[in-house]
Structure 1
Amino acid sequence: MNDIQTLLQTANSFVWGPPLLILLVGTGIYFTFKLGLLQFRHLPTALRLVFSRSGSSNAKGDVSSFAALCTALSATIGTGNIVGVATAIKLGGPGALFWMWLAALFGMATKYAECLLAVKYRQVDDKGQMVGGPMYYLQYGVGSKALAIVFAIFALGVACFGIGTFPQVNAILDASEISFGVSREIAAAVLTLLVAFVTLGGIQSIAKVAGKVVPFMAILYITACLSVIIMNADQLLAAIELVLVSAFTPTAATGGFLGASIMLAIQSGIARGVFSNEAGLGSAPIAAAAAKTDSCVKQGLISMTGTFFDTIIICTMTGLALILTGVWQSDYAGAAMTTQAFAIGLSSDTIGPLLVSVGLIFFAFTTILGWNYYGERCVVFLLGTKAVLPYKVIFIGLVASGAFLHLDMIWVIADIVNGLMAIPNLIGLIALRHVVVEETKLYFSSMTKSSKPATA
């Protein structure tokens, strides 16, 4: 058993090692410059589109563009924003936060490209619902059914045995038990019923819940982080300077921090950043394909803001809270480190930890919902709509069993499969790069023409 565990750990280190990270960030760099720094120049336009309720009344799709973004964010904003940031800084020091930013800024271009393609190549299933994502642009754009199947299998694996179930279930049950004294059995039963109630209603039900819960939980968590930052505002400039300096110089060992090289800061920052915002992994395009929109470019712009919200805003808030309170130098790790930061930052041993627990519960619950939908769309691609109900029953069963499973091997397998998702998706993005560029040029040239006053 130990040999298998060691083998899996080695495979995981290889999958999430420099080759994949370079490919992920490299794809983002390519699209950033090929699209003329689109994520910087058009971010105000993208944010305006997110919060604009206007749209074409006859646009095809199942849910609004905002609801599609919230569904994607429900799966993206998760325990990685609380635990992942703490892990990155614990391993790589404050400089890891800078590399997280860099991965996110380039990742926005990748997210734009993959969600544009999702809408361009989406199809309608035999129940009249929109289906799309990497498996469809790999099959209908690239022309590779094999790559499409490989992606769908890996994504289904992540939904059922990875990010979508066990880690989230355990995070919810741990937080419920520690902060509220609720037994794991009762919490598991309530969670299973809630997941069943929401997911059996399909994309409309998931999007409706995500559209309300995601903005609420994000605002609650950001407010808590801002409170810590404001209460330590006198040290903010020094903290930002520490992040920038540590990104390019080795961080010395201090307190419980073991020290970190520049390479470790780069690797931990980029890996946890990509893991958190999922840019290039191919998950968000599945939600984007359901959006009611008449323009694949417009949906691409809306979708890329997900990476901005997830990493540039929420991960930054967590990172600054950890650095300002000095807990990154402590012996704490993961969720315990973030909890301690809030306890120190808010000068309260009850309110701080409570806010982290509530954030974890909300973040983890919506991640389960988002990944349930991703898995469902993969099942439709692989087996047709007749397999949706059996899939949902199995998924709900896995959520229920997650309370009683503590197999380290499962987490490692989940990490491996999550990384493997990116490979067929990135092949698709690179193969269809000219389509992304052409669609973008067409959209903005038509926008420029329509904004010019007519000449007499």
Structure 2
Amino acid sequence: MDLIEELVAQISDFLWTYLLSVLLIFTGLFLTIRLKFFQFRFFGHVLKNTVGKIFKKNKQKGSITPFQAFTSALASTAGATNIVGVPVAISFGGPGALFWMWVVALIGMATKYAEIALGLKYREQNKEGEWVGGPQYYIKKALGWNKVAAMFAFFLMIEAIPSTMVQSNSISTQVEGAFGWPTWLTGGVITILVALIVFGGIKRIGKITDKLIPGMILIYISIALIVIFAHIDQLPHVFGLIFTHAFTPISAAGGFAGAMIADALRWGIARGLYSNEAGVGTAPIAHAAAQTDHPTKQAMWGIFSVFVDTIIICTISGLTVLVTGAWQDVGPDNASNMINVALSTVFGDYFGGLFITIFLLFFVLTTTGVLVFYGEKQAEYLFNLKVSKGMRIVYIIAIYVGAIGGLQFVWQFLDLTLAFVVLANIFPLLFLNKEVKAITEDYIERIYKGKGGKPSIELFVHKK
């Protein structure tokens, strides 16, 4: 078993360090150029038509509001990856890793925009009247690559099992350390709460995420900003470190072992990609349920989500550990505790640990609920609604098993299965670049410029 785990780890490391990172960056750059830098030229318009219209009601086709679709998708990326992932990247890659996270986010906006736009164009209604979509639908309908579509759906359906297990284990062990609760108790509570969420379908998930996610993000940012402003004299020095060591090596200091340029590049890119999930193909699954009359209107939420997730939240996390010196005080082996240490410089050890525990608890609930939804929708695509509801039970059981630390060898397959998911999505995105361009141009001409007229593309392909 140890040999198998080591082999899986080596294959996963190779795929994510070299092949997938290069592919995702190339795709982001290619789509950015193909769309004539849409995410930059129209960023003000994006803000106006996303966060600027949160409270605007519409009666377009869809199961949930555009904002609920956005928060549902954001729930699967924001949280642990921002709190734990960023300190890990800095611990191994140095302050310069934050710069490369920004670069990845800026070009990743185009990738996420493209996959959501395609997901909306090729969505359909299932037998229960819910709108469903995602890479498996546009791969099959637009390209006719049935086997690739099935590959995406199968590996994402399987990947959701270790994903839910890792999520529940992260919070059960955190609660055990902070409050002394046994993992079986925390696991039981989490399992019941997630079950109550997912058995309500995407509509209940949307209603819960649009209440919890914005509040949790704002609270986290507020607490972190207090810490940053308490050490504001360090900001000029910190920004100097970020930009300098994105292109030059940095020597060891304190608990920090030092990093080469390649380390900053590797860890910044890897954590950036993992944080916002641009190119993974999961976001279109949630966004496909949104009430909208044009793919671009909803796809702009993808641009905004990458901005919030990486440019705002990850930056705040990075600056917090850098200005406090926690990145030098805490070694790589304990990097996941770096934010706690940073917060303790202002609020004390008890509050720092308590806040992070509570924050992660709520995020794990929403993240796990969305992961279960993603997984069961793949089962629905591959088989039928009855099988998808059966997979829902499998995921709920996996949540509890993961919380108590069971079947840890399954966790080793998380990165590997996710790699196959990305591969099945990224090549179709490149082949469908003309469709994405046509969708974007149709929106710019008819809606942004107000010329009106009939759509120049077939906007929706759906069945009942």
For 1:142 and 1:292, the matched residues in 2 are separated by: 25
Could you tell me which residue of structure 2 aligns to residue 108 of structure 1? 109
Tell me, yes or no, if the aligned pair for 1:255 and 1:330 is still in contact at 8 Å: yes
Q: How does 1:87-126 map to 2 (within 5 A)?
A: 87-126=88-127
After TM superposition, give the deviation of residue 400 of structure 1 in Å.
1.4
Matched residues, number: 449
Tell me, yes or no, if the aligned pair for 2:193 and 2:365 is still in contact at 8 Å: no
Q: How does 1:20-99 map to 2 (within 5 A)?
A: 20-51=20-51, 52-53=53-54, 57-99=58-100
For 1:5 and 1:57, the matched residues in 2 are separated by: 50
| AA matched with 2:4 | I
Could you tell me which residue of structure 2 aligns to residue 361 of structure 1? 361
Could you tell me which residue of structure 2 aligns to residue 288 of structure 1? 287
Could you tell me which residue of structure 2 aligns to residue 444 of structure 1? 444
For 1:202 and 1:142, the matched residues in 2 are separated by: 29
For 2:321 and 2:450, the matched residues in 1 are separated by: 48
Could you tell me which residue of structure 2 aligns to residue 5 of structure 1? 5
| AA matched with 1:151 | F
After TM superposition, give the deviation of residue 439 of structure 1 in Å.
1.0
Tell me, yes or no, if the aligned pair for 2:402 and 2:408 is still in contact at 8 Å: no
For 1:433 and 1:99, the matched residues in 2 are separated by: 25
For 2:107 and 2:246, the matched residues in 1 are separated by: 17
After TM superposition, give the deviation of residue 297 of structure 1 in Å.
0.8
Q: How does 1:218-237 map to 2 (within 5 A)?
A: 218-237=217-236
Alignment pair present for 1:240 and 2:239? yes
After TM superposition, give the deviation of residue 199 of structure 1 in Å.
0.6
Could you tell me which residue of structure 2 aligns to residue 306 of structure 1? 305
Deviations 1:216-274 (A, max 9, x none): 11111111111111111111111111111010001111111111111111011110111
Tell me, yes or no, if the aligned pair for 2:34 and 2:433 is still in contact at 8 Å: no
After TM superposition, give the deviation of residue 304 of structure 1 in Å.
1.9
After TM superposition, give the deviation of residue 67 of structure 1 in Å.
0.2
The 1:373–1:235 alpha-carbon spacing in structure 2 relative to 1, beyond 3 Å, is same
Deviations 1:270-325 (A, max 9, x none): 10111111000101111111101001011111122111111111111111011111
Tell me, yes or no, if the aligned pair for 2:125 and 2:131 is still in contact at 8 Å: yes
After TM superposition, give the deviation of residue 350 of structure 1 in Å.
1.7
SS at match of 1:303: helix
Deviations 1:157-191 (A, max 9, x none): 221122xx111101111222222332222211111
Tell me, yes or no, if the aligned pair for 2:285 and 2:374 is still in contact at 8 Å: yes
Quick one: percent identity of the two aligned structures? Answer: 39
Could you tell me which residue of structure 1 aligns to residue 380 of structure 2? 380
**Deviation beyond 3 Å, 4+ runs, structure 1:** 53-58, 406-409
For 2:420 and 2:79, the matched residues in 1 are separated by: 20
Could you tell me which residue of structure 2 aligns to residue 317 of structure 1? 316
The 1:364–1:334 alpha-carbon spacing in structure 2 relative to 1, beyond 3 Å, is farther
For 2:410 and 2:240, the matched residues in 1 are separated by: 39
For 1:263 and 1:160, the matched residues in 2 are separated by: 33
Unaligned runs of 5+ in 2: 453-464
After TM superposition, give the deviation of residue 445 of structure 1 in Å.
1.2
| AA matched with 1:328 | W
Tell me, yes or no, if the aligned pair for 2:152 and 2:425 is still in contact at 8 Å: yes
TM-score, with length taken from structure 1: 0.95
Unaligned runs of 5+ in 1: none
Could you tell me which residue of structure 2 aligns to residue 192 of structure 1? 191
After TM superposition, give the deviation of residue 412 of structure 1 in Å.
2.5
Could you tell me which residue of structure 2 aligns to residue 349 of structure 1? 349
| AA matched with 2:3 | D
SS at match of 1:253: coil
Tell me, yes or no, if the aligned pair for 1:239 and 1:323 is still in contact at 8 Å: yes
For 1:71 and 1:175, the matched residues in 2 are separated by: 24
Tell me, yes or no, if the aligned pair for 1:171 and 1:361 is still in contact at 8 Å: no
Tell me, yes or no, if the aligned pair for 2:136 and 2:152 is still in contact at 8 Å: yes
For 2:382 and 2:2, the matched residues in 1 are separated by: 34
The 1:451–1:141 alpha-carbon spacing in structure 2 relative to 1, beyond 3 Å, is closer
Tell me, yes or no, if the aligned pair for 1:28 and 1:109 is still in contact at 8 Å: yes
For 2:59 and 2:199, the matched residues in 1 are separated by: 27
SS at match of 1:260: coil
After TM superposition, give the deviation of residue 438 of structure 1 in Å.
1.0
Tell me whether 360-369 or 275-284 shows the greater mean CA deviation.
360-369
Tell me, yes or no, if the aligned pair for 1:56 and 1:293 is still in contact at 8 Å: no
| AA matched with 1:114 | E
Could you tell me which residue of structure 2 aligns to residue 140 of structure 1? 141
